[in-house]
Structure 1
Amino acid sequence: MLTGRPPFRGENDFLTFQQILSHDSDAMEFPAHVPEAARDLIRRLLVLDLDARLTDYDTIQAHSFFEGVDWTGISTATPPVVPDKTHLPTPTMVDGASPNWSLANVLNDVFGATPLLADDPRHHPIHSTTTSSSSILENNEGILLQADVKLHGSLFTKKARGLMFTTHGRLIVSDAKNQPPQVFQWGANAIHIVPKNTSTFDIRY
């Protein structure tokens, strides 16, 4: 926090770890602006000899670097600097990507979709059997999720498609040009999910 960089930094993880294991805290170099009390605190926190290292709260709080700090009332003290609040503009999605979630690898094609708002009554299953989708749905089947997606057939090819997930556990990919829809039945032997990260996952058939 005082220097803006970590105390140990090698060209790779292995060399960084070697610095941690073999460093001499007494020979550590500091930028000129770091006060002597801070240098002593850092050296004593990083010293290899466990018996000489500062390890308990009382000893650390009693160090000269924290002279004048009222530890008992620190939780209610006024901070020395209160930064101004930063108001960032709302990001605009310009590439067709979704900020919420995406589906990928449906028959080796990649989809990105934005889920419907659950509190919009127009998107409730009872209201979801529109004229365009009613011919695709089975009896008493409603739409749990419906979204426009981008199908990536190749690196630079994107095709607009409609994506629906229904109450019968069917994933339906439809084409606005009246092409026959692709229907994938949700089940252990049909579709499985492979998470990619917190917001992206693959659906593989």
Structure 2
Amino acid sequence: MLTGRPPFRGENDFLTFQQILSHDSDAMEFPAHVPEAARDLIRRLLVLDLDARLTDYDTIQAHPFFEGVDWTGISTATPPVVPDKTHLPTPTMVDGASPNWSLANVLNDVFGATPLLADDPRHHPIHSTTTSSSSILENNEGILLQADVKLHGSLFTKKARGLMFTTHGRLIVSDAKNQPPQVFQWGTNAIHIVPKNTSTFDIRYTSGSFRITDTVHGAQAWCRLLNAFKP
């Protein structure tokens, strides 16, 4: 509420939980406007050590952040005044058009369009450059991270591919053609990831290696996910 954003946020649920389980509350950073009492309250609510964490009402209510709050009479207290909304006229440009006309057209195109159906294969998380996830995933298998990537070939060639990592520890490389996907089982010393730059990384295994570029998530997102996976 004080910052307008959650304390933990990862590329997906798995990475978010990894942040929750491994964070250092003393090292948490806050915007400059957050008062010190609020920072201390947040740190003590999120600290990993259960003995040091604020867990009961009396201790939380006694925290300096709530100084001046009458807890015994709060249910009958007059709530703060909410100021009335001020409606200002929309400014117009020289030609009489609203300055946000182009944004309005874009929003109208989006929200006025036919709703997308969840079972429409065109709108599945895996895009047109990949094969359908339904034909790749096993029973009770979910996707932790996926992206449209470039697979480096010989010389300077790059091929469009789909890359996904699943809850079963499978790293899957697929393409839009009806070719069987390449599946690499993660969780052994025989396979590992090596970052090359901010967006490119190598997957190395016993019999070879290949190079991937993901300009959307970057190499670190894949490194964090794959290195943190426990079979």
Give the TM interval when normalised to the shorter protein.
Answer: 0.3 to 0.5
Q: Structure 1, residues 163-186: CA drift from partner, whole Å, max 9, x if none? A: 999999999999999999999999
- What is the CA distance between 1:75 and its match in structure 2? 1.1
Q: Structure 1, residues 56-92: CA drift from partner, whole Å, max 9, x if none? A: 0000000000000000111111222325489999999
Q: Secondary structure at the match of 2:93?
A: coil
Aligned counterparts, 1:21-100, within 5 A: 21-84=21-84
Runs (4+) of structure 1 exceeding 6 A deviation are 85-205
Counterpart in 2 of 1:110?
A: 110
* TM value normalised by structure 1: 0.41
RMSD (Å), alpha carbons: 16.8
Q: Structure 1, residues 139-176: CA drift from partner, whole Å, max 9, x if none? A: 99999999999999999999999999999999999999
Alpha-carbon separation, structure 2, partners of 1:168 and 1:15: 15
Unaligned 5+ runs, structure 1 = none
Distance 1:203 1:119, change over 3 A: farther
Distance 1:62 1:124, change over 3 A: closer
- The answer on whether the counterparts of 2:172 and 2:183 sit within 8 Å (CA) in structure 1 is yes
Q: Secondary structure at the match of 2:159?
A: strand
Alpha-carbon separation, structure 2, partners of 1:28 and 1:125: 32
Q: Structure 1, residues 99-138: CA drift from partner, whole Å, max 9, x if none? A: 9999999999999999999999999999999999999999
Q: Secondary structure at the match of 1:110?
A: helix
- What is the CA distance between 1:8 and its match in structure 2? 0.2
Higher mean alpha-carbon deviation, 5-14 vs 167-176, is at 167-176
- What is the CA distance between 1:11 and its match in structure 2? 1.0
Higher mean alpha-carbon deviation, 145-154 vs 8-17, is at 145-154
Distance 1:9 1:67, change over 3 A: same
- The answer on whether the counterparts of 2:170 and 2:186 sit within 8 Å (CA) in structure 1 is yes
Distance 1:123 1:74, change over 3 A: same
Q: Secondary structure at the match of 1:198?
A: coil
Count the aligned residue pairs.
205
* TM value normalised by structure 2: 0.37
